[in-house]
Structure 1
């Protein structure tokens, strides 16, 4: 996969562009709450927004270094990496679903001369000789 396709799937559609922004806003809110006083349960939201990847990242970090050795920066980095991985997954899923809808919307039904999306093409044109058969059918 090329870098351009990776970036397109991660940031170039509305779903995968909004998701990292929401996670980033929750991290900023968590940092502001930690600086201003007792953060309470504010620190849970970034993990819940990026679960299950961030929780797996925290579990691996706790298994390697021990739960007492986990720093805020390690956990915040895990949340950021998890948000980027999941934004890519959301972008790939969105592109796949849109591609399927695009393919089915342009498929034609030859029996009715109507596309599946509902655009009427009308009946096939009649030959010019068929219009001038008699005196009553003249245009």
Structure 2
């Protein structure tokens, strides 16, 4: 039982620790920093729609959390970013593995 949970955490870590997943998380962090700067330091006559970019950059997974009440929406955006980074990382690992396999057999 412990070996299977250890292998699951290892697989999750391998999905998150590659250039594509880390680049996506850096992009999400940069967008949220920009949103914070816009909300705190920029004067607007009307409402700012900067926070919409936080949902767009983590869509479609973040859109599942829009119906949650209160601050749970923002936690859902963070969860969505990590889930999508893991999916992108798994796709990268699969694609890189196929390229390595093809290069080894040809």
Please classify the TM superposition score into its range, dividing by the shorter chain length. Answer: 0.7 to 0.9
TM-score by length of 2: 0.81
Structure 1, residues 66-94: CA drift from partner, whole Å, max 9, x if none? xxxx43x3222111110000000001001
After TM superposition, give the deviation of residue 31 of structure 1 in Å: 1.8
Write the mapping of 1:1-139 to structure 2, written as runs, cut at 5 A.
1-10=7-16, 12-36=17-41, 37-38=43-44, 40-59=48-67, 61=68, 70-71=69-70, 73-107=71-105, 116=106
Which one has more relative contact order, counting CA pairs under 8 Å at least 6 apart? 2
Higher alpha-carbon Rg? 1
Distance in structure 2 (CA, Å) of the matches to 1:106 and 1:8: 22
List gaps (5 residues or longer) in structure 2: 1-6
Moved more, 94-103 or 27-36: 27-36
Unaligned ranges ≥5, structure 1: 62-69, 108-115, 117-139
Cα distance change of structure 1 residues 25 and 16 upon mapping to structure 2, 3 Å threshold = same
SS of alignment partner, residue 66 of structure 2: helix
**Cα distance in structure 2, aligned partners of 1:56 and 1:95:** 26
Q: What TM-score, normalized to structure 1?
A: 0.63
Structure (1 or 2) with the greater helix fraction: 2
Instruction: Provide the aligned length of Structure 1 versus Structure 2.
Output: 97
